[in-house]
Amino acid sequence: MARQGAWIDVYPLNGRNLSTVPTRNKASFGKELSDYMNSLNMSFNSLVPSVESIIFGRTNGVIKLGTMQYREVKALTDSLAKKLPFAPELGFNPALSVGFLTATKDSKVVFQRRPEGVHCPRTLIHEPCGYMSSGYIEPRPKDLVSDEVIENPRLYDVQAQLNRRKKEIAGTFNAPVESVSYNHVQDFLGAGWRTVEAYLSSVGKINMTEKGLRVTREEMIKSLEMQGKQKEADKERGVEHLFVPFEQLKNLIFAQGKLSNINPVGYEPANLTDLPMLDESLSGLIWGYEKLTGQKLDLNETVERLNRDGLSIKVYDTSAGREYKFPAKF
């Protein structure tokens, strides 16, 4: 059975350059997980890089990446979320997600509050983020799970995948792609109890204000309506974006210890800073705080405070020569 409670694992990169080495090894499932995966009857499938190990040098870090099919990722995630007896003891699937916390021109961080009925409902998640995927390779392969795709270096290229995320957030707000930038230096490899996935994290900027982004997004939605695409327009209008000012970020961070065991569904606090966050966004905000805001945040003090208040954040020793391995058999 997978570990329980509100936990986050962080492997800090501490300014190191990060490179990826594809092993092209495929994940393998035992009978229970295989049967469960087949019961999901998924029509969509793609390839997702999965973390096999991370090695820390003096000035660099190396992640070795195998592959998983998205239907395997989904089966692992579901088994963990539903606390099924055959869920991996690791507590997360090693499929790799990437993204960056985005600051606006008027010093706010862009979040989305996830809807009900999805994984991690009613939590704050930063924009943009998501699994690295063969679906994000340019040009897009016709067969997203072929052996040819496994050999494609763009599947394992963090910067190439982040460039797609850059286009993604620009598209979300109907903004110019060139208005978005991100820091290519990754802050850490992490995982947590809500996302139950592995992730890298960095920070970025969009050269527009909250007001400007809301205006261009509304223009996009109205354009969909004028084209007769009302369902698409309604779906977009239902997305809840929140812009948290820099001066409120510490309060948002420090509230997360006590919020870690709250059921987010049906929880509607009066204050923006009392909303529960996704573990990926929380750890990204902590380790990216100084790059985002230009202000100091004591990492050790922050982790200790959150752990006293209900979280279990473990920061791993990433001194030169350290290596951590992750399973590929489940």
pLDDT tops 80 at residue 247: yes
229 in a structural domain: yes
Residue 80 tokens, joined:
């963990």
Q: Which CATH number belongs to the domain containing residue 212 in this structure?
A: 3.90.79.10
pLDDT tops 80 at residue 1: no
Instruction: State the pTM of this model.
Output: 0.95
pLDDT of residue 111: 97
Question: Over the stretch 187-215, which tens digit does the pLDDT of each residue have?
Answer: 999 999 999 999 999 999 999 999 999 99
Q: Give φ, ψ of 123 to 5 degrees.
A: -110, 155
What is d(CA 284, CA 101) in angstroms, rounded to the nearest whole number?
Answer: 7
Cβ atoms within 10 A of the Cβ of 257, count?
Answer: 21
Question: Over the stretch 81-99, which tens digit does the pLDDT of each residue have?
Answer: 999 999 999 999 999 999 9
What is d(CA 2, CA 8) in angstroms, rounded to the nearest whole number?
Answer: 14
CA angle 190/199/98 to nearest 5° reads 145
Domain range for 120 is 7-325
Q: DSSP class of residue 264? A: -
172 in a structural domain: yes
2 in a structural domain: no
1 in a structural domain: no
Number of domains in the chain: 1
330 in a structural domain: no
Contact call for residues 7 and 196 (beta carbons, < 8 A): no
Q: DSSP class of residue 248? A: G
pLDDT of residue 71: 97
134 in a structural domain: yes
